[in-house]
Structures are given as C-alpha cells and as structure tokens.
Amino acid sequence: MVVDLEKRDVVTIEDLSNGEIEAVFSLADEMSQTMAEQSSVCQGKIMASLFFEPSTRTRLSFEAAMNRLGGRVISVMEIGQTSLAKGESIADMARVVGSYADIIVIRHPWEGAARVVADYADVPVINAGDGGHEHPTQTLCDLYTIKKERKTLEGLKIALWGDLKYGRTVHSLAYALARFGATMHFRPRRGLEMPEHVMRKLTTEYAGRLERYNAVKDVEKDGLFPLDAVYVTPSGPHQLANIPAVGIQMELKTDVDAIYVTRLQKERLEPAGEAGESERSYPVVDKKLLREKGFRETIVMHPLPRVDELAYEMDADPRSMYFKQAARGVPIRMALMSLLLGARKVELPESKGPSFAHHRDYPVYDRDTGVRCRNRNCVSRQGTEARYMKHKFHIVASEPLTLRCIYCEHEIHPRYIASSKWHQGIVEKKRYYSADSFMLARIRPENLIIFDSEAAAEAQGFKPGKRGKAP
Ligand code: NCD
C-alpha cells in the first residue's frame, strides 16, 4: 500500500490515520539512517516558518529539517514584525504567505489559528501549536519515541502528568494513544484537569471508558500517586468496569510504560483564579518517585521546556527520554514535510494501512443567530478575525444539545432551539423551545436554529412555543 500525503494539512493529530503515522515513522527511520542522502529531496521548495509564540525545539527542528532536505526557509518570529500588528487578519496573511511558500508551519497563541491558515492558504499547513489546543507534530515525536523504546504502540499504559488543561501536547497525545489502544492515567495538578471536551471525545469518538478517581484516598495512602482519572480503551481490562475501587488498585500496581510530564503553562492561565492556584503542589518526577513499585521500568518523557516538574537528577537515568524526543524532531519533521510536499511517498505493508478513519460527519451549525464559542482564546472570538469569520460548530450530541467549535473544539450547550421549516417565513409561526425538550428530536439538523438565550430568540422575532407542543 502506498501512503501519499501530498497537499494535506496537519492541523490536529486526527488529520493522520494510524497507518499514515506509521508511514511517517518508517520514512523518519530511513532518513535518519541516510541523512547525507536527503539533501536534494526538497530542493527548490520554500518553507514559511511563522512562530508567533516562543519556541526553541519546534521552530529550529522544522527549520533544520527543511535545510537538511535541501529546501529553504523564510520566517517571522513576532507578530510585531508582521502586518498582523497593523490589524491584518490571519486569513489575509495566510493567503499571501501561501503564495510565497510551498508549505507553512505556524505557531500561534490563539486556539484554532492553524485551522484558519489551512482554510485560506493554498499550500500544506502544519500546526506547530495553537494556544492550548493541539500540537500534532510533538505527538509524532512522542509516539515515535515510545515506539522505539517499547517496540510497539499497541496496548501500553501511559501516565500523563501536570498541566493537562492547557498543555496542548497532551491533548494531541491522548487522542493518538487512545487510537493505538493505550490505557492512560491522568495525574493533573489540581484545577488543571484534562478539559471536558477532550474527555468527551476520548469516550465518544474513541469509544474508551473513563473511570474518575479524584477522591480515592486509599490510592494516596498506598504510597502511590493520586489520580484524577483512568482512560481504558475498548480492549482494556474488564475488572476496572466491574469493581472500580479494586480495579484501580490493581491497575496502579502493574507497571506503567511511560510517564509523560508537562510544565505549568503559565502563559495560558486565566488572569483571575488559576494564577493563585499555581503555588499549589505540582506533581514532580524525580528519582524517589521512579523507585516506587510500578515505575521501575518506566520511561520518562517531557516535550520540554522543563521548569520545576522534572528533576535534573533524572538526566543521567537511562529511563529518561526527553532529549531523545527532542532530537527525533528533525527526522520526524523531515519525513512529514517531504510527504506533504509530495517529494516522497511511502510503501507500507498492507497490515499497517490506515486502520483509523476519524472523520465523523457531524452536522455543521453556522447560522448567524448569535451563538458564539465561549473560549476567550478561540480565534473566532478575536476582533481582527470577526470581520470575515462565521462562528461554526459541529452538532456532536443532543442530550444535552452540544455544539463543538470547529476551530478550538471547546463545547457549548445552548439552551433554545427553533426550526426554519415550521415558520416558513410566516412571522406568527416563529416559535422557540427549550433545547432539552423533545422538540429537538423533531427538527432535522439542516433546519435547526439555535439560540443562546430567550432574548436572542425574541430579538430574531421568535416567541416562546407551548412546551412540548409542535406547531
Ligand atoms: C511544548 C509546546 O510548545 O507546547 N513545547 C514543545 O513544542 N516542545 C510544551 C511546552 O511549551 O510546555
């Protein structure tokens, strides 16, 4: 089977199937063994490197990768250096940069910014981190490292530590691990738990089971670390489901394959509230922890940069993988870019073919009825983008009605609904209903009108419908 990724974008890790991820790894293996022979693979190609947030590893490894492939790099590193500072929209910038370069790599503080660039640029776009949303190429480096060290990606047990709320690397990684059948232990700093929309996706789209354990005192008493939740893939052990309290003890006593540590994402904390929490204890990985039962064979991973959550004493420990993870960024990004540019294709055995087709065809909601994404950091909420951008959502569930922003993937639960069919332009028939009434089931997605509030419905000429009675 030939894997061809020409002209594709990588905005989230879900843009690549399991088979395509394996293809990137196989090409990265080949390229790292024959580095000197790669210098004309992307000759004549230009990569635009747009880094509007601090970066060392990601930017330099992308740039090193393109240089090693024989291509060239144009770059900006600050919004202040670009016309974005003059009030230009991301869409306009994307169109223009797409006409100068063959591939765009973007890092931006707004969640969903990379999606907008991909929508407007005519060349492949790689998300190198968009706010607290995703960082798919870091996940490729992480999975590649796990695969090299553990010899498989299937059925592993991985603990995710630290800032799981704003750490974009753990969001992409959790989706990928779920697809490869991993069990995950979530061990967040208090208040920085995995966001609900990530948890929901893990359980609904990846069909795994989530066991929440935030208050299990026995676990702490046992000398083991307190957990927020455990994610078990559909193929995982059944004991957990049947007898949770016993199941969790058994789960913790068996070995963890990897601990993935992240730093506190200080720059993303809510200005009020979360900053004060930062003094609270943050999980720290050190030699003492790695002596505990269950961790003796555990590899230690970190996307870097580290601050205080990972002791320097771990650097000499053979289980520490973080510098290897960073070093592998170059062959991984060489492989990915040469595939997206169509400069290489990869032959894979059939068994490694695309085993995962994520894209669910959720209905889209993009009517202008005042429904907005609530995430203040979402690209759709920014003044420069509001001029052209429609608020767009996937309707992902009906009980309760749940809309997922197509840019940042945060979810909202609007409270009122109506149908465009019933009133057919006749003002007297314009009625709205509560979103949790049975009326929702009677309206086809393409006719659905959604409001955030009664005032919004009334402002558009709708009157309250009699509860439960169809017009
Ligand atoms: C991460 C990032 O930027 O999200 N770093 C990286 O790309 N290796 C992690 C972080 O900044 O904490």
**Closest C-alpha to 443, from 411, 391, 401:** 401
Whether 263 is in the pocket of ligand 1, judged by its Cβ within 6 Å, is: yes
Share above pLDDT 90 across residues of the chain, in percent, rounded to a whole number? 69
Distance 35 CA to ligand 1 centre (A): 26
Phi, psi of 362 (to 5 degrees): -75, 145
pLDDT confidence of residue 355 = 53
Take atom 6 of ligand 1 and give the residue whose Cα is closest: 303
Specify the ligand 1 atom closest to the Cα of 53.
3
pLDDT confidence of residue 423 = 57
Helix or strand holding residue 366 (H, E): none
- Residues 142, 301: Cα–Cα separation, whole Å: 8
Flag whether pLDDT at 255 surpasses 90: no
Whether 172 is in the pocket of ligand 1, judged by its Cβ within 6 Å, is: no
For the residues 407-422, what does the mean pLDDT come to? 93
Chain-wide mean pLDDT for the chain? 88
Distance 304 CA to ligand 1 centre (A): 6
Task: Look at the block and give the residue holding tokens 């720059």.
Answer: 267
- Residues 83, 384: Cα–Cα separation, whole Å: 12
Report which of residues 438 and 224 the model is more confident about: 438
**Residue 277 burial (C-beta neighbours within 10 Å; 0-12, 13-18, 19+):** middle
pLDDT confidence of residue 434 = 95
pLDDT confidence of residue 243 = 44
- Residue-wise pLDDT tens digits, 309-320: 999 999 999 999
Residue 152, helix vs strand vs coil? coil
- Residues 171, 153: Cα–Cα separation, whole Å: 17
pLDDT confidence of residue 252 = 63
- Residues 446, 109: Cα–Cα separation, whole Å: 33
**Residue 356 burial (C-beta neighbours within 10 Å; 0-12, 13-18, 19+):** middle
Q: How confident is the model at residue 424 (pLDDT cuts 50, 70, 90)?
A: low
- Count CB neighbours of 203 within 10 A: 14
Phi, psi of 188 (to 5 degrees): -85, 160
- Residues 126, 234: Cα–Cα separation, whole Å: 31
Distance 82 CA to ligand 1 centre (A): 23
Distance 280 CA to ligand 1 centre (A): 22
Q: How confident is the model at residue 469 (pLDDT cuts 50, 70, 90)?
A: very low
Flag whether pLDDT at 238 surpasses 50: no
Whether 173 is in the pocket of ligand 1, judged by its Cβ within 6 Å, is: no
The least confident of 110-124, 131-145, 208-222, 287-301 is 208-222
Take atom 12 of ligand 1 and give the residue whose Cα is closest: 263
Distance 196 CA to ligand 1 centre (A): 21
Q: State pTM to two decimals.
A: 0.92
pLDDT confidence of residue 470 = 46
Assign residue 376 a region: left if phi > 0, alpha if psi is -120 to 50, beta otherwise? alpha
Whether 58 is in the pocket of ligand 1, judged by its Cβ within 6 Å, is: yes
Q: Which residues make Cβ contacts (< 8 Å) with residue 353, sequence separation at least 6?
A: 1, 19
Whether 303 is in the pocket of ligand 1, judged by its Cβ within 6 Å, is: yes
Q: How confident is the model at residue 284 (pLDDT cuts 50, 70, 90)?
A: confident
For the residues 80-99, what does the mean pLDDT come to? 92
pLDDT confidence of residue 226 = 66
